[in-house]
Amino acid sequence: MTTDTYAQVPAAALTGSMRDFRVPGGADLLGRTEGFYRWQDLRRQNGLWPFSRATEDGPKTICAAQDDSGNRMQGVNFASQDYLSLASHPEIKATAIETIERCGVHSAGSPALVGNTSHSVSLERKIAEFLNMEHVVLYPTGWGAGFGVVKGLVRSADHVVMDMLSHSCLQEGANAATNNIHLFRHLDNDYCRDILAKIRAKDKDNGILVITEGLFSMDSDTPKLLELQELCREYRATLVVDVAHDLGCLGKEGRGHIGMQDMLGKIDVVMGSFSKTFASNGGFVASRSRAVKEYLRFYSAPATFSNALSPAQAATILKAFDIVDSLEGRMLRLELLANVLSLRRELTEAGLEFYGDPSAIVCVKMGSEGLARLVSRRLPGLGLVANLVEFPAVPKGAARIRMQVMADHSEQNISDAVRILKTAKTEAEQELESLGNEAQPARRTAA
């Protein structure tokens, strides 16, 4: 496939971002959504809207998918989050089927009422034991757990101090809870200390929640957790660590960075999602206090006023924890790590750069949004399904193609992906060059 296959792209489809439409003006709440739709559709019409895709038979390593205009694609899949390939594991599937046969498909109630099942109660115990944390609250999604732990604990006079790259669920929880939000430079514990000292110099009476992640999902890097936890003790703050991307899949025992940094059972509050490694929607918050658990169950809206995980979801996740905690889990983590290292090695050999430390997340650097969109446009035709990530999810000019590795990827899948990415990037660079300055980011923004 050559550059000529693609029609000339209007500059407005290569510039602008979703941020431009976050606060649309005007009194017509419905009508003012149209600006975003026009810009999105311009991108769509030019093959530059790679979001809202649907797989046909689930998130396998080779998959068929459709974009939101119904165009089909088929190829190696590095866009799904199923790090240990448990979503199609035979025992997990059998567990889900058996549970549906026995319990039906729905929890039919909030965890605060009668939505719990024997499976969800066992799952709470399993996670508590796995994390050495004693008490666990389940949530219907990881997003709900992140939002819910912040909104559940923080009141308007309190403070939230968070790593500036913390996930949307944590940021939204903070925005909903208080105006006293302080962001610190990514992974910069000294910066965090300065903020804590300033807050405590003025306010001795209110709470401070410090928020970070075990493994950041766009940069694949990690904070020094002991240092951060000690800082929290010093300034009477509480630490929450979101372990969505490392729990289960990283470290010899699968305890993620908390385990690798010898912090098991030593973090104030651990929050996580099941959707990356444990083959289901859902999330949890773990602490060492029954009081915290009971409080969140009744004062954290996604745990109180939303229906519980279905019995099949709870049973699936429980089975996934059993596998993660077994010899098989250890082997799967070794396979995942071998794939990650192969991908990183082959990318380097191909002259492609990526962010961060070895983990299931390998984000390949593209730079400008325009170039990244042109690269992403070529991927389905060449046989690669991978996600485009651009501002505001990452800084402007630091767009990337995010590859999420699974234990079941083969060497061939990895080589194919790298070859395709290399071809797409080389062709897209030529195309961008031929489009001239108009398509360069600084020159124009979308209306």
Residue 361 C-beta: closest distance to ligand PLP, Å: 9
Of the residues 123, 133, 137, 169, which one makes contact with ligand PLP according to CB under 6 A: 169
DSSP string, 409-447: --HHHHHHHHHHHHHHHHHHHHHHHHH-GGGSTTT----
- Count of chain residues binding ligand PLP (CB under 6 A): 14
Among 141, 238, 313, 413, binds ligand PLP (CB under 6 A): 141
Cα separation, 400 vs 396, whole angstroms:
11
Q: Which of 124, 219, 242, 268 binds ligand PLP (CB under 6 A)?
A: 242
The span from the CA of 356 to the CA of 218, in Å, is 9
For position 244 contacting ligand PLP by CB under 6 A, the verdict is yes
- Residue 217 in contact with ligand PLP, rule: CB under 6 A: yes
Number of other CB atoms surrounding residue 175 within 10 Å: 14
Residue 390 in contact with ligand PLP, rule: CB under 6 A? no
Q: How far apart are the first and last CA of the chain?
A: 32
CA–CA separation, 84 vs 107, rounded Å?
A: 27
Residue of 122, 150, 151 lying closest to 138 (CA atoms): 122
In the complex with ligand PLP, the residue whose CB is nearer, 16 or 256, is: 256
Would you count residue 159 as binding ligand PLP (CB under 6 A)? no
Helix, strand, or coil (residue 225): helix
Residue showing tokens 């000339």:
8
Q: Which amino acid is at 366?
A: M
Contact 150, 278 (CB under 8 A): no
Per CB under 6 A, the list member of 116, 238, 275, 342 interacting with ligand PLP is 275
Nearest residue (CB) to ligand PLP, 163 versus 431:
163
| Residue with smallest beta-carbon separation from ligand PLP | 142
Q: Is 126 in the site for ligand PLP (CB under 6 A)?
A: no
Would you say 300 or 368 has its CB closer to ligand PLP? 300
Asked if residue 146 binds ligand PLP (CB under 6 A), the reply is yes
Residue linked to tokens 């093959």? 47
Query: CB of 150 within 8 A of CB of 160?
Result: yes
**Residue 142 sits in the site that holds ligand PLP (CB under 6 A):** yes
**Residue 254 or 370: which CB sits closer to ligand PLP?**
254
Residue 167 interacts with ligand PLP (CB under 6 A): yes or no: yes
- Name the site residues for ligand PLP (rule: CB under 6 A): 141-143, 146, 167, 169, 213, 217, 242, 244-245, 273, 275, 283
